[in-house]
Structure formats: C-alpha cells, structure tokens
Structure 1
Amino acid sequence: MKKNIKKYIPNISSSQVEEPAAIYHITPKSSRVETLVKDFTYKDFKKILTKGPFTLGEWSDMLFMSERTLHRYAKDDGGFNGLQIERILLLETLIDVGNEMFGQEGFKSWLPTKPFSLNGEVVKSKLNTHNGIQEVIDTLGRMQHGISA
C-alpha cells in the first residue's frame, strides 16, 4: 500500500507585510549643528569654559592640544577642528549634567573622587577619552536615578 503524500506549498503572499510603511520626517531643531561645525570659534568655546570647573590647562589636556595653542585661539578667535568640537560638545554635556546634579562647586569637588561605579578610578582621569567621558555621563545618569552601580 502506497500512501498519497501531499506536497507542502507555502503561501508566499500571506508571509509578506501588507501594511503601508510609515514615513517619518524629522526636521532639525535648527541649523545650529552645521553652524557649530563650520564656525565654532574660541568665542563659542569661552561660553562653555565659563560653565565648567576646568582650567585652561585641563582643557588643553582633554583636547590634546597645548595651552599655548588655546591662548593663540583666544587672541585670534581661532576655530577648532571637527574632533575637538565633538570633544568640547561632549564635555559640555558632562558639565551641564554635573552642574545640574551637584551645582557648580559640588561638581568641581566631585571630580577628584573615586566612585565605586568607575572601579575606583578618579573621575578626572576618565576625561581624556570619548568613552571615558561617556562613562562619567552615564554614571551621573545612574546616580540621578538612584542606581548605585
């Protein structure tokens, strides 16, 4: 006796998505980003400099440039390159979060501490790399939400 075996033929049309795709149009808040990259000068940097607890020497270390170059930028209102702008804006985010959480003086006194969530490393020592800055920002965010580690 031979059994009749039916062949399975998948219904391809039912496995396709039949919903229309949503079209999202995101408009930038402003053209500030383009302006910052093209025309980010020492004058713009000075606004960030006054908000933060860092000296010009510490900024020069974090931006991998000499303090003398920063003084020259100040004198000529010179512009920064793209990588330096990115680092400055990331540090501005850190400064804003830190000042909001601790206040300006409290943030300044928190920077030399060794929090458990940073494996006992000094906070200021983490500010020389992009990942380190981001790790400190994440630590502040966790602290704001009451997460210790």
Structure 2
Amino acid sequence: MKKSIKKYIPNISNMLEEPAVVYHITPKYSKAETLVKDFTYKYFKKILNKGAFTLGEWADMLFMSERTLHRYAKDDGGFNGLQIERILLLEILIDMGNEMFGKEGFKTWLQSKPFSLNGDIAKNKLNTHNGIQEIIDTLGRIQHGISA
C-alpha cells in the first residue's frame, strides 16, 4: 500500500507587505565627475583649496607620498578608486567643519580633544575610513546640540 505524499504549500498570507520608502538624495557630483578616469588632480585641487589640510597631510591620509601628489599635480594625474572615495569623504568633513567653525576655526578644532573621542586628537583619527566617519558623526552631533 502506497502512502500519499502531501505537498507543502507555504502560507503566503503571513508575509509582511509594507510599501518601500524611496529617499531622493541629490548627489554632490554628477556621474561624469565621479568616474575614476575623470577624477584628476584638477578636481582634487578644488577640494585642497578649501583648506584644513596641507599637501603633506593629504598625502598621509591617502597613503601616498607627497612627491606622488606633486607628480599628479604636474601631470594632472588620476587617483585610484579608494583614494577618490577617501577624498570625497574628507570633502564632506571639510565642508561640515568649515560651515560650523570657519576655515581657521576648523583647523583649530581638529587639534582639539573632543570628549566624544575619548581624549584623542580629532586629526589623528583621519587615517582610517571609520575614523573619518567618527569625526563626521561628532560634527553632526555638535550641529544638533548633542554634547560631544
């Protein structure tokens, strides 16, 4: 005698169905500007002129030598993808800092030891992606009046 095998049919009514929220974020750069091949020293120079860091400090944050940056300046050379990502993240940081403190005030603040960074100098955190993001978050908290 054969046993009949019942097929399992999932209960579809238990599935969660909520409308998706679509957030519209205006990108800072157009697609043409963010292409790796098009991000040359000319674009980097615009960010460099906003202040806050010397060319040597940029070289340290981008894990390259200052001489390489000078060579890029001479040849209008391009950066690689990871360097571009770091440059754009640092640009966000610079824009926030300059808006809050002014150019010179932001340079001074970077040398401070905010309480939220556990006594570390803010500028020392800028060698890693997480450190940069931590400084951006700290500036965001200051903007919103949360003690930092």
Q: TM-score, normalised by structure 1?
A: 0.81
User: In 2 relative to 1, CA 104–20 (structure 1 residues): closer, same or farther, beyond 3 Å?
Assistant: closer
The amino acid that maps onto 2:91 is E
The amino acid that maps onto 2:73 is A
Deviation at 1:20, TM superposition (A): 9.5
Q: Return the match for 2:30 from 14, 29, 32.
A: 32
- In structure 2, the partner of 1:72 is 71
Deviation at 1:35, TM superposition (A): 3.2
Gaps of 5+ in 2: 1-10
Percent sequence identity over matched residues?
A: 73
Deviation at 1:23, TM superposition (A): 9.8
User: In 2 relative to 1, CA 21–109 (structure 1 residues): closer, same or farther, beyond 3 Å?
Assistant: closer
The amino acid that maps onto 1:114 is K
- In structure 2, the partner of 1:130 is 129
- In structure 2, the partner of 1:5 is none
Larger Rg: 1
Structure-to-structure mapping, 1:75-90, within 5 angstroms: 75-90=74-89
Q: Distance in 1 between matches of 2:23 and 2:118?
A: 42
Gaps of 5+ in 1: 1-11
Deviation at 1:52, TM superposition (A): 2.4
Runs of 4+ in 1 over 6 A off after TM superposition: 19-28
Q: What is the aligned-residue RMSD (CA, Å)?
A: 2.7
Q: TM-score, normalised by structure 2?
A: 0.82
